[in-house]
Structure 1
Amino acid sequence: MARAISEKCRRCAKLPVTEAKEKDCWVGQPCHVRRHGYRNRDRYNKQKKQQYAIVTGKIIPEVTVAVPQTPAAILHLYRERKDAPLHAIAAELWVGGKQVAKVEPVHCLGWTGSQAKQYSRDILDSFSGQLEECLLERFESQVELNPSQCPIRPCPLHPEAN
């Protein structure tokens, strides 16, 4: 049976290496390996399933199918943890494999939860306006980023040098 995921290590894997090394729990090479494993977990699981299919003889022939050009909206949330306050929001609109539109990050300091939800609905509405035949009802995925990676300047987390 697989080892349980360490929530502390999963959150640390989101941080840049320089910040992760500053943590008290950093132990060097094992942390590098663990961070890489957490970041590439989906890819490794897919490879394992393919290897299992080869070993057991359950190889399914591949066929080529035209890929539909459906739109997908991705929401970027800058926050420490799921239960932490939201630092910033950004979004992207993709059609097929091409980025069509982007909403630059916006600070959410002082916003209530309902204001953040309304802002994300407004983003979906503006993305739907860009598409002629489709109405977006939800985000395909949410990407959580650490607030230390916030690109907005000035930012309370990145005081300007005087």
Structure 2
Amino acid sequence: MSKRALPEKCRKCAMLSAQQAQTLHGAEEDNCWNPAVCYSRRSYARNRDRINQTRSRKRKEGELEQISVEFEPLSQLVFAVLVVYRKAGVDTPVHAIAAEIWQGQEKVAIIPSVHCAGMVPSQVHQYVGKMLSVLEECYGVKKFASQTRFDPELCASRPCPLHR
């Protein structure tokens, strides 16, 4: 057993709920429970395989040679990404929408986010259509290459109803 191995007692404790662990190892029992370390130690014990796998993958990626491929058409390619701020779920309302315009691998312009509070779905679609007509006129972009969804808490537009 290495000096950094997690004690068997902690591994077993990690499989209990926090309340069960505090009852079993609290002041009335063996007084092992320490809130300063137990929460993170229990989380690591439950997720260590995934954590270690991620660390290993990142280490291996760092060791790999990176080969740059020059491809002229890629640097000339202009495309737009629709950015939608809405909670996850099927029928959640759209909080705000924006767009990013890219040329090759660089962002060259944005359409700042607009809050959609009070808009009905058809109005949101109309606004997206208006965005596309402006993008076609300015950049020759006829449709969005992709859509990115962010949680409304990440909305950077100010003032914002969520960030008072």
TM-score in terms of structure 2 length: 0.55
Cα separation, 1, equivalents of 2:151 and 2:136:
28
Within 5 Å, give how 1:30-109 maps onto structure 2: 30=47, 65-68=71-74, 69-83=76-90, 84-109=92-117
Cα separation, 2, equivalents of 1:158 and 1:65:
43
Matching residue's letter, 1:78: Y
CA 1:28–1:109: 2 relative to 1, 3 Å: farther
| Contact 2:78/2:102 (8 A) holds in 1 | yes
Is 1:119 aligned to 2:124, yes or no? no
Q: 1:130 aligns with which of 138, 142, 147?
A: 138
| Contact 1:78/1:150 (8 A) holds in 2 | yes
Residue 99 of structure 1: how far off its partner (Å): 2.3
Residue 114 of structure 1: how far off its partner (Å): 1.1
Q: Indicate the SS of the match to 1:120.
A: helix
Matching residue's letter, 1:66: E
Is 1:157 aligned to 2:162, yes or no? yes
Query: Unpaired segments of 5 or more residues in structure 1?
Result: 1-26, 38-43, 48-61
Cα separation, 2, equivalents of 1:145 and 1:66:
32
Residue 153 of structure 1: how far off its partner (Å): 2.0
Cα separation, 2, equivalents of 1:74 and 1:108:
18
Identity rate, percent: 35
Aligned match of 1:4: none
Cα separation, 2, equivalents of 1:73 and 1:115:
20
| Higher normalized helix content (fraction of residues) | 2
CA 1:64–1:90: 2 relative to 1, 3 Å: closer
CA 1:117–1:82: 2 relative to 1, 3 Å: farther
**Structure 1 stretches (4+) deviating beyond 4 angstroms?**
62-65
Q: Which has the larger radius of gyration?
A: 2
Residue 73 of structure 1: how far off its partner (Å): 0.5
Residue 128 of structure 1: how far off its partner (Å): 1.4
The count of aligned residue pairs is: 107
Residue 113 of structure 1: how far off its partner (Å): 0.9
Cα separation, 1, equivalents of 2:155 and 2:93:
14
TM-score in terms of structure 1 length: 0.55
Higher relative contact order (CA 8 A, sep 6+): 1
